[in-house]
Amino acid sequence: MAYGIKALAEQKLLSGKYTEKALYILENQQFKNKLANTIETEKIKVASKTGELPGIEHDCAIFTHKGKTVYAAVLVDRLENQSAGK
């Protein structure tokens, strides 16, 4: 997942306008309660995709600040306690 979001951000996955659209969607993610939960999103740009199913929690994100970028992916399964996965 981290490789995929990095390829997207570096425009190696989709062509120009489709990359822009995909990043726009990720930047406007409504749920910021996982990886971006404690990030000051006014200072650090976050583009992410969260998700969950019973027993599964995940979040993949691109964090950008002052020209530096970090890619993160956390995928958790077999959760007995759903909130513990967050």
Phi, psi of 78 (to 5 degrees): 60, 35
Residue-wise DSSP of 26-57: HHT-S--SSTTTTS-TTTSEEEEEEEEETTEE
Of the candidates 8, 86, 16, 3, which has an alpha carbon nearest to the alpha carbon of residue 47? 8
Of the candidates 48, 56, 9, which has an alpha carbon nearest to the alpha carbon of residue 31? 48
| pLDDT 10s digits, 38-73 | 888 889 999 999 999 999 999 999 999 999 999 999
| pLDDT 10s digits, 16-41 | 899 999 999 999 988 888 988 888 88
Give 81's pLDDT tier (boundaries 50, 70, 90). confident
pTM of the model: 0.87
